[in-house]
């Protein structure tokens, strides 16, 4: 039996439901204004609520998840994502920090801001010298998305957002139509469906960049919270965080997170990979054991002993970027008025591998006309 399966069995009871309200109420959705951008574009906030006390707020600016309230083992609710209290702060800081945003066209890094596709060379703007990060400056998490539809019913409550990225935006070829649907279910799941179509061959890699703190936003460091990633290998990086092209075993490294491990336990390791990233900021190649017919497979688990909150992540994506908030330096003030510092939150970004357009051996991120990009990530909440 694998380490992953043993851990899943050991903590199977994590999946128990958080029961704080009648099941019969069902999930619901409401909306309210959230101000206007500096360019005068109106922004709306959508609130998804279920019958068990989970509430999620997202805004049309960047598709950002601004708040996610989840009960603890005693039924006490707290916001578990980092964020800001105003649209102005998201506009000011999110191009660098990416709190809760939808990332595209290409999540993670592309080496030297260049790639070739079908015999054509493409140059992207460099925003993390010498590389392009998260699609370049003014990426998808800084765009105002259009609401295509809202819904509520037996499948949950949700909102479908759309952004049309014009041909040549940030150097990427093709007009790309992106639809992202957030759904909150009464099973305490947030499901994120990513879909995209193009009119020219292009590359696509989409994710959500929420930072979690399962003890509650503004509660301080997550070093005592536990993390598990269902991955036996990862993609080592150079000093500039670009993959070397190797797929290496996690065995006997600080990146072996196949069993629940305190985030802070190996954070200051002298391991060269940890030194390059100043902590955890790496891509794991997911095992995805038991996955069938392209369904979302178990990928990661986070657990906070103090509150009992558990987050399980399932995804169809091949990789998981685990980031321990290394760049937070106290310079921004969050939703609760607290300055965010290193390790005050962590991100679990389900995605394709960094620099895949320049690495033919990695899973392909190419999208051609007539094909549809479709990936799913699920956040499932429970308590221990």
Annotated binding site for beta-D-galactose: 108-109, 209-211, 281
What six digits make up the tokens of 25? 């109420």
User: What residues are designated binding site?
Assistant: 108-109, 209-211, 281
d(CA 160, CA 103) in angstroms, rounded, equals 16
d(CA 94, CA 91) in angstroms, rounded, equals 6
Q: How many residues does the chain have?
A: 384
Q: How far apart are the first and last CA of the chain?
A: 23
Query: Which residues are paired to 284 by β-bridges?
Result: 234, 320
**Active-site residue, from 209, 217, 282, 375:** 209
Catalytic residue flag (residue 349): yes
The pairing of strands 207-208 and 233-234 is unpaired
Nearest to 273 by CA among 237, 314, 306, 324: 237
**Active-site residue, from 91, 169, 217, 349:** 349
List of residues 6+ apart from 187 with CB closer than 8 A:
17, 380
What Cα–Cα distance (Å) separates residue 58 from each residue in 2, 180, 205, 384? 37, 12, 21, 27
Omega before 105 cis (within 30°)? yes
Positions marked catalytic: 209, 349
């Amino acid at each position: 039996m694998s380490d992953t399966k043993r851990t899943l069995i050991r903590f199977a009871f994590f999946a128990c439901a958080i029961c704080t309200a009648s099941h019969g109420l069902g999930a619901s959705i409401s909306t309210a204004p959230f101000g206007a951008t500096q360019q005068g574009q109106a922004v709306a906030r959508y609130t998804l609520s279920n019958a068990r006390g989970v509430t999620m707020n997202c805004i049309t600016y960047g598709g950002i998840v601004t708040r996610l309230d989840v009960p603890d083992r005693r039924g006490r609710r707290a916001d578990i994502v980092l964020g800001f209290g105003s649209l102005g702060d998201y506009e000011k800081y999110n191009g660098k920090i990416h709190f809760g945003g939808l990332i595209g066209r290409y999540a993670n890094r592309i080496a030297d801001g260049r790639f070739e596709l079908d015999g054509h060379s493409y140059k992207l703007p460099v925003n993390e010298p010498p590389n392009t990060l998260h699609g370049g400056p003014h990426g998808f998490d800084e765009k105002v998305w259009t609401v295509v539809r809202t819904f509520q019913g037996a499948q949950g409550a949700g909102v479908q957002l759309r952004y049309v990225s014009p041909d040549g935006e940030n150097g990427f070829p093709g007009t790309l139509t992106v639809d992202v649907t957030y759904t909150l279910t009464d099973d305490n799941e947030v499901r994120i469906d990513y879909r995209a179509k193009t009119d020219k061959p292009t590359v696509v890699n989409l994710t959500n960049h929420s930072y979690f703190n399962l003890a509650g936003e503004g509660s301080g460091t997550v070093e005592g919270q536990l993390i598990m990633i269902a991955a036996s290998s990862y993609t080592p990086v150079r000093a500039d965080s670009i993959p070397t092209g190797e797929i290496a075993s996690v065995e006997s490294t600080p990146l072996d997170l196949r069993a629940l491990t305190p985030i802070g336990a190996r954070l200051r390791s002298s391991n060269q990979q940890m030194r390059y990233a100043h902590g955890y900021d790496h891509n794991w190649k997911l095992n995805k054991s038991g996955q069938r017919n392209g369904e979302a497979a178990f990928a990661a688990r986070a657990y906070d002993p103090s509150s009992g909150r558990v987050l399980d992540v399932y995804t169809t994506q091949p990789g998981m970027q685990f980031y321990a908030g290394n760049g937070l330096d106290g310079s921004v003030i969050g939703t609760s008025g607290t300055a965010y510092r290193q390790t005050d939150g962590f991100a679990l970004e389900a995605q394709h591998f960094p620099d895949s357009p320049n690495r033919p051996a990695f899973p392909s991120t190419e999208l051609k006309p007539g094909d549809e990009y479709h990936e799913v990530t699920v956040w499932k909440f429970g308590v221990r």
